[in-house]
Amino acid sequence: MAKKLHLITAVVQHKLGNQVVESALAAGATGATYFYAQGTGVRQALGAAGDDIEVGKRVVFIVTEPAKTDAVLSAIVSAAKLDEPGQGFASVTEVVKAVGLAAPPRP
């Protein structure tokens, strides 16, 4: 039987990207993949109030074991301030198949 995995996808403010990755690792993530992106939508919908939302984003992918998902997601939400409007987005999806994931060395 294949090992179950979750994929956490987070779109966060660019300036908070490093903090998000560091917090996720501290919460039990074994690694992260990220890239830079530019967002649109919420900033424009908020009008003048959206001026404080930066356009630059960082998209972070983290694969976790289900037992670690909640802790890692919670760390991401806290570090990226995702509980505040316009700060970003995170979701968790079940990984159906994965190839190329190596288990990290055990301490």
Q: How many percent of the chain have pLDDT more than 70? A: 79
| 13, 18, 55 from 89: Cα distances, Å | 10, 16, 14
pTM of the entire predicted model: 0.82
The low-confidence residues of the chain, meaning pLDDT below 70, are 1-2, 40-54, 102-107
- According to DSSP, residue 46 is labeled T
What domains lie within the chain, and their CATH numbers? Answer: 5-95 (3.30.70.120)
Q: How many CB atoms lie within 10 A of CB 9?
A: 14
Q: Name the maximum alpha-carbon separation found in the chain.
A: 53
